[in-house]
């Protein structure tokens, strides 16, 4: 479970403070499927970075599975990123000289997973994304959709509890994008918590619920299907100071 209470992320820019996250409070249950939408600069990617322990809140509390992330050491945060969180980005970030199998195995080498177990996990991960027949192809020999599916296999081979996807179909055609989303949604159906940042209302409407951000705040919460023009639920009013 994810619990955010009054979270701020503030940066100093040109002698002024920029609130990339501004008093964000939200609960995301294990196994949920959440889309985060909003204009550029609204705080979507910053929120994902905080949730994935790539960045720390400037103020407020982030609890992951009941533990206060603010109390974690850098080593603790690294362990969370390695074992509990998977990341998928718009750019695939595959290593060009490695084939699909080797790219998927890469995080397990750093985690010290034994060679035999690595082989088993890689085979299972590639089967899950439908690419077992492309295991020995390098990224240049794969389509964009196939490269993104390799990236998904790599992101989930450590069996994380949560997958954070930042515009995962942004570089793909509509058919490849649908295939990628079906892979992600299949993993969510199996219990993986899925949080997707997107500019695409059609993609956001696939999620169980969506959070709309503006100026670092969650300004709107919607349920599946509401984002396409149905009723919307506004965020609760700010408490009086």
> What pLDDT was estimated at residue 230?
39
Strands 162-166 and 85-89 come out as parallel
Quickly tell me which residue has 């295939």 as its tokens. 179
Q: From CA 231, how far away is CA 239, in angstroms rounded?
A: 24
Q: From CA 155, how far away is CA 125, in angstroms rounded?
A: 9
Closest CA to 153 of 204, 227, 92, 240: 92
Q: From CA 225, how far away is CA 208, in angstroms rounded?
A: 9
Contacts of 108 (CB under 8 A, 6+ apart): 117, 118, 121, 122, 157, 158
pLDDT in tens, 209-225: 999 999 999 999 999 86
pLDDT in tens, 91-124: 899 999 999 999 999 999 988 999 999 999 999 9
Across 66-197, the runs of DSSP E, i.e. the strands, are 67-68, 85-89, 162-166, 193-197
For residue 19, the cross-strand partners are 10
Whether pTM exceeds 0.85? yes
> What pLDDT was estimated at residue 225?
67
User: How far is residue 37 from each of residues 77, 165, 168, 199, measured CA to CA in Å?
Assistant: 26, 12, 13, 6
Task: Give me the sign of the Cα torsion angle 105, 108, 110, 112.
Answer: negative
Domain boundaries, given as residue ranges, for the chain: 92-159
> What pLDDT was estimated at residue 227?
58
Q: From CA 6, how far away is CA 216, in angstroms rounded?
A: 12
Residues of the chain short of pLDDT 70, as ranges, are 225, 227-241
């Amino acid at each position: 479970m994810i619990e955010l209470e009054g979270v701020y992320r503030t940066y100093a820019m040109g002698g002024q403070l920029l609130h990339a996250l501004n008093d964000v409070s939200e609960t995301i249950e294990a196994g949920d499927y959440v889309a985060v939408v909003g204009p550029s600069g609204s705080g979507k990617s910053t929120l994902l970075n905080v949730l994935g322990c790539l960045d720390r809140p400037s103020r407020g509390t982030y609890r992951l599975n009941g533990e206060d992330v603010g109390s974690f050491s850098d080593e603790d945060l690294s362990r969370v990123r390695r074992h509990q969180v998977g990341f998928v980005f718009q750019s695939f970030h595959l290593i060009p000289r490695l084939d699909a199998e080797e790219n998927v195995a890469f995080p397990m080498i750093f985690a010290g997973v034994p060679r035999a177990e690595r082989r088993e996990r890689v085979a299972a991960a590639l089967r899950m994304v439908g690419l077992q027949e492309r295991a020995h192809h390098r990224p240049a020999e794969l389509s964009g959709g196939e490269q993104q599916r390799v990236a998904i296999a790599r992101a989930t081979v450590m069996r994380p509890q949560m997958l954070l996807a930042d515009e995962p179909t942004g570089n793909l055609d509509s058919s490849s994008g649908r295939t990628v989303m079906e892979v992600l949604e299949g993993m969510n159906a199996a219990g993986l918590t899925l949080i997707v940042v997107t500019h695409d209302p059609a993609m956001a409407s696939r999620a169980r619920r969506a959070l709309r951000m503006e100026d670092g705040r969650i300004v709107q919460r919607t349920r599946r299907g509401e984002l396409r023009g149905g009723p919307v639920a506004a965020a609760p009013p700010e408490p009086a100071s």
